[in-house]
Amino acid sequence: MRGATSPERDRRIARREAAALEVYLRDEPLRCRGTTLDISRCGVSVNTKWRNFSVGTLVDVVFIQREGRVINLLRYTAIVVRHYDGGVGLRFCTS
């Protein structure tokens, strides 16, 4: 059994689901593209080659939803909570 201070303890408050969605991230004036690794109602992990993220930075997140010839753009604001080699962890901001 893992203790409360165990480094393996998952601190997330919402269950993650694997998802490979096309996404654009914007931190004016910089923009980049990526693919989601997983998503929950609270946040998302995005694989991207862009390395200019700083923890605590607000970014605009645009998910691309393609349905045949129709493209929907789903826009959110998120804060960078983790930066790792190959991507970032983002927490959605509530309005």
Binning the chain into helix, strand and coil, the percentages to the nearest 5 are: 0, 55, 45
User: What confidence tens digit (pLDDT) does each residue in 12-55 have?
Assistant: 567 788 888 999 999 877 889 999 999 999 999 999 988 778 89
Domain 17-92 annotated CATH 2.40.10.220: yes
User: What confidence tens digit (pLDDT) does each residue in 73-95 have?
Assistant: 999 999 999 988 889 999 999 86
Please report, for the chain, the start and end positions of each structural domain, with discontinuous segments joined by +.
17-92
Q: What is the DSSP letter of 67?
A: E
Q: Are 50 and 34 in contact (CB under 8 A)?
A: yes
22 DSSP β-pair partners: 35, 64
Question: What's the predicted TM-score (pTM) here?
Answer: 0.79
- Model confidence at 4: pLDDT above 60: no
CA-based angle 77:28:21, to the nearest 5? Answer: 50
CA distance 47 to 65: 17
